Amino acid sequence: MLHLRVAEPMRECEYSQISTRSSTPMETPYKKRTPKRRKWQAFPGRNKFYCNGRIMMARQTGVFYLTLVLILITSGLFFAFDCPFLSMQITPAIPVIGGVLFVFVLGTLFRTSFSDPGVLPRATPDEAADLERQIDVANGSSSGYRSPPRTREVVINGQTVKLKYCFTCKIFRPPRASHCSLCDNCVERFDHHCPWVGNCVGKRNYRFFYMFILSLSFLTIFIFAFVITHVILRSHRYGFLNTLKDSPASVLEVVVCFFSVWSIVGLSGFHTYLISSNQTTNEDIKGSWSSKRGKGNYNPYSYGNIFTNCCAALCGPLPPSLIDRRGFVQSDTPQPLPPTNGITMYGSTQSQSHMCDQAQCIQSTKLVLQAAATPLLQSEPVILTDEAFLPGRTSLGGPCSGALPLGGHPTPPTSTPKLSCDNDMLPFRNEQSNGLRHHHTDGGHHHFLTPEEAPSPPGMLPCGSPLGHSHTIQGFYNPASQDSLHEDSVRGLVKLSSV
């Protein structure tokens, strides 16, 4: 009887030492840190953001730059060519007043253009689905074709106001809100989209817009009036033609101010009327509160007093921004946890069913990997004997003696044909039995041979199988080849479990 002790090489094939490098989430227990994205970077509307989200503008900003250039050029020419003469001939307060108006105009322009006008956040997928279910329940459209009305009605100060559904933002817009087609956003208390300021005008920047056009009206009138004064005073001294030749900038200022003052002053007057009646441009154009719609139609937002309406529009508290454009985007991916008992555990996901499926997948993968790694964890010596096989033990070659047992576990079926080598193995047993079998004394103790001490059987080529292609004991068992074989098996199992 031949006993080969191969427990020591087997200890090197521990399951924990197998490297299963793959692109699956089980490769490493921790994910690489990715830089967090701010909400303005994932903003769904058509807007431009600058200074890390602090500045918010519409995408079409060309007219805004034209407005800025006209203000800067006109004011610059006035301070450079007219103010020196006027401060000497009339009063030095003229450039001071002009400078204050100029700074106020630029400040309100930038505040209107760079701020959030009152954009309403869009509904999340869960909120949109819940709203759709509410609409279905309210309209009783559980079956069949449905055409639910996408409006709701609320009563404000005795007046019925309809809330329209926005198919883009998936929300019912609050009263006085509207969807801007240029910015693709729903804006609270939407007034209009002004290309001259490069932004929508709504609840959060309307007061700055009104102060901008009002101060710009004063600045335009101020420059126009004092440029005319400058031209008249110089004409009395040097003549009209000589004055035009000496100061051509004054002529340019008069032309620009003359054609712009009418529109600016008219716009300021129109918005003064809107503020005094607590209306918006959108409501006035549509005639939402016009008496032509009926005798009982009136503006429910008016306080009934001009002074109170103006204070409510210009002096009320400024509402906060609802989109939090500088906040961080919350990731919906599960966060991995540290490994436990050699198995990578992952955090819970948004849905309970997904979490249960993931836990079952991990548990089944654990059992499969342990079953696949069992042959590598065996520490029993491999014994080659010509005795009868024990019940429940199956060898690679069927009835062939000298095949390796798989630690008491049945061999998985393979495509290799069953080896039948009873006749071929008989010469080897008879000829080598005397040379390889040792007499056992002292109570029948076995003598274990190391792979170096084992002789090489000269004539054993059992059935042409790969186990018989070597003339040494390494042909029966090669730890390195078995290690690579099980490593490939585990790698394939890990890839299958990730699917």
The catalytic residue among 180, 194, 257, 400 is 194
Cα-only R_g, the chain:
44
Cα angle: 255, vertex 257, 261; to 5 degrees: 130
Residue 361 falls in the annotated catalytic set: no
Catalytic residues: 194
